[in-house]
Structure formats: structure tokens, C-alpha cells
Amino acid sequence: MQHLEEIRKFWHNAQDLGSLPEDYQSWKAAQKQDFLWNSRIIKSKYDQLPPLRKIDIVSLFLTALKTKMDRQLDEAPSNWKKAIHAHGSVAKIKFVPTINTSFSGLFKGANYGLLRLSVTGEPSDRGFAPGLAIKLFVDDNASENFSALVSLVGQDKNYNFFANELSNIVPVAKSFGPIVTNLIFSRVTKYPTKLYLENLGEIDQHGQKESKAYYPAQVFLVPNPNIKFPESPPHDFRNDLATIPAGTSLYSVYGVSPEDATDKSDNRQNAKVIGHIETTSEFVSSFYGDSQLFFRHQRFRNR
């Protein structure tokens, strides 16, 4: 009964929030981050965490995946439902590049972003499978986004969210669940286990377009070894994340240049540090973060 009351409250919050302002896209990066954080995420923060949901394969099949690839807005369309990664926590972040980085655009630095950490579905169903989505805000332009996973099958019964590296490219898995998911995503992309990073290299955080974009073929997000949570279940990863303070370096980001990338071997050995992701707020679990905050997936294509 209490859970039903929470659901009613969340939907009431959603109606109160309304849609994004008409001129939102033309705002500065800092304004967009501040608005989504204070007027959306904090305003709809959960009083009590909703239970994690299993992966909803039927809903995933019915999802308009083309929207996931092509929508330029930071907010999901009405009636959008997350069939996977339904629940997570969001923090404000910045991307701090290495000195004299060779990569362009947002890889040169991004002071205003949002990071959402989530699991694919209820861990007791198919194991603990961490994933992340990053949104980097750009002055006067649409945000740029990318996502990363540990793998399509996760890390079994290890509940430490920071136990493994994540990447925008993961190996094809041969178990039933990932095969079905790949077939569904194959309707909109030839490479369902890969996400492209080109857009992040084409524009910087001030909205300046690069004359020639230079971006990693693959990135690896390596967790800060000082952040450790219990491996043994059961415990809720969202409670773990809530203990991380602002100003924490979460991930070192390793990038593989296009010249060093290959489809025939592990790119990890060719990756070099290109920066790190640092929180600028605490982590918050909210209705908006779970239901309306939108992260676009950029289709991968070979060149």
C-alpha cells in the first residue's frame, strides 16, 4: 500500500514539473545543469527508494529505439518507459582532461555534466550488471551523451558497483538474454554492442565547432581504487552511491586513438589516460532521474 502511495506521489510530481522551457536549448551549459538538478532532480527526490525492477524484454521490444538514437533533448518524450536500467542515481560531474590532450571538443574539458549510474535490472534476476550514462552540457547547443557498461552479462553476484572497468564497446555475449537484447537493438544499428563518440569531439563546451574532430575510438572508465563497497548481496547500490561526497574522482578515463584501435585485439592495452570524471554534487535518486532524464545513444559506424 505504501509503495502504491509513493507511485501516486511520483506521478503527481511529474505533472508538477512540466516540460522544459522553450528556449532551454539556447541556455548556457551551467544554466542547463543547474535547472535540471535543482528544478527537476532534487525536486523529485525519492522519500523512499522504489524496488529495482527486472529487465522488461517485452517493453524493450516495443520501445521506439530510433528515438533513443536520434532525440536531441535532455528530457524523454511523454510516456517514455525504461525497460532496462529503470532505476539509478544521478550526480553532477565535470570531465577534467589531461594536460595538452590531443583529442578535440568536449574531450578538452567539460565543466558541467550529469552522470547516471544504474544496473540493467534487479540483480537477483540476472546478476549485478552496472552501467552508466553521461551527459555533457554545451552552451547554446544540445548536450552530448554516451553510455558504458561492464559487459552485457555484468559481474554475477559481486554487488560492488566499482569493481570493474566500463567501456562504450563491449564484447558480444552468447547467453540468451544478451542475444535477445542485441536482436532488438539491431533494428536500429548494425553494431548493438558499440556506441560512437564522434559527436563529443565535434564541439566544445562553449559551443565552438571543431574544424576537424579528433576523438577516441573507444574509452575505458577505470574506477577509483579507493572507492570500495561490499561485494556480497543483498544491499542496494543506490544507498552505497549516496555516501560518495562531492569532489570525488570517480573514474580515470582511458582513450584509444583511432590509429591504435583494432577490431582484432583488445584495445585496452593501447589505451592511455585522457582525463578523469569528478563529482560536483552528491548522488541523488529521483523520479525525474529514473523516468524523464534522457540520454541519447550515438550509433556506431565503421569508417
172-187: pLDDT as tens digits: 545 544 444 443 334 3
Q: Which residue has the cell 576537424?
A: 212
Kindly report, residue by residue over 224-236, the tens digit of the pLDDT: 999 999 999 889 9
- pLDDT band, residue 7 (cuts 50/70/90): very low
- pLDDT above 90 for 34: yes
CB atoms under 10 Å from CB of 100, counted, come to 6
pLDDT confidence of residue 4: 42
What cell numbers appear for 20 in the block?
522544459
| Lowest model confidence (mean pLDDT) among 59-73, 91-105, 184-198 | 184-198
Overall average pLDDT of the 240-262 stretch: 95
What are the φ/ψ torsions at residue 261 (nearest 5 degrees)?
Answer: -80, 145
CA distance 15 to 235: 32
pLDDT band at 18 (very low <50, low <70, confident <90, very high): low
Please report which confidence band the pLDDT of residue 66 belongs to, taking 50, 70 and 90 as the band edges: low
Least confident of 85-89, 111-115, 157-161, 180-184: 180-184
Q: Where are the domains of the chain?
A: 27-291
Residue with cell 570531465: 95
Spatial separation of the C-alpha atoms in residues 40 and 288, rounded to whole Å: 6
pLDDT of residue 167: 93
Q: What is the pLDDT of residue 174?
A: 53
186: left (phi over 0), alpha (psi -120 to 50) or beta: alpha
Residue-level pLDDT at 16? 55
Scanning the structure block, which residue is given the C-alpha cell 552530448?
144
Res. 285 pLDDT band, cuts 50 70 90: very high
What is the structure's pLDDT at 298?
62
In contact, 175 and 109? CB cutoff 8 Å: no
Rounded to whole angstroms, how far apart are CA atoms 106 and 93?
Answer: 13
Average pLDDT of the residues in 60-87: 71
The CA–CA distances, whole Å, from 21 to 18, 80, 135, 204, 242 equal 9, 19, 19, 23, 30
36 touches 74 (CB < 8 A)? yes
Q: How far apart are CA 94 and CA 48, in angstroms?
A: 28
Give 36's strand partners. Answer: none
Question: CA 100, CA 301: separation in Å to the nearest integer?
Answer: 28
Q: Which of 130, 162, 167 is nearest to 270 (CA)?
A: 167
Q: What is the structure's pLDDT at 303?
A: 44
In this prediction, residue 8 carries a pLDDT of 47
Q: For residues 133-150, give the mean pLDDT.
A: 95
| Confidence label for 296 from pLDDT (cuts 50, 70 and 90) | confident
Confidence of residue 297 (pLDDT cuts 50, 70, 90): low
Counting residues of the chain whose pLDDT is more than 90, the rounded percentage is 62
E strand or H helix at 178 = helix 176-185
User: Which pLDDT score is estimated for 67?
Assistant: 58
Cα of 275 vs its chain's centroid, Å: 17
Categorise residue 239: left if φ over 0, alpha if ψ from -120 to 50, beta otherwise: alpha
pLDDT at 259 over 80: yes
* CA 141/CA 105 separation, integer angstroms: 13
Indicate the average pLDDT of the chain: 84
Please give the backbone phi and psi of residue 123, each rounded to the nearest 5 degrees, phi first: -60, -30
Cell numbers of 235, please? 544491499
Q: Are 195 and 169 in contact (CB under 8 A)?
A: yes
Peptide bond into 171 cis (omega under 30): no
pLDDT at 55 over 90: no
> Which pLDDT band, with edges at 50, 70 and 90, does 53 fall under?
confident
Instruction: Please report the pLDDT score of residue 233 as a whole number.
Output: 84
What letter does residue 7 receive in the DSSP assignment?
H
- What is the rounded CA–CA span in Å between residue 125 and residue 44? 28
**What was the pLDDT predicted at 19?**
86
CB neighbours of residue 64 within 10 Å: 12
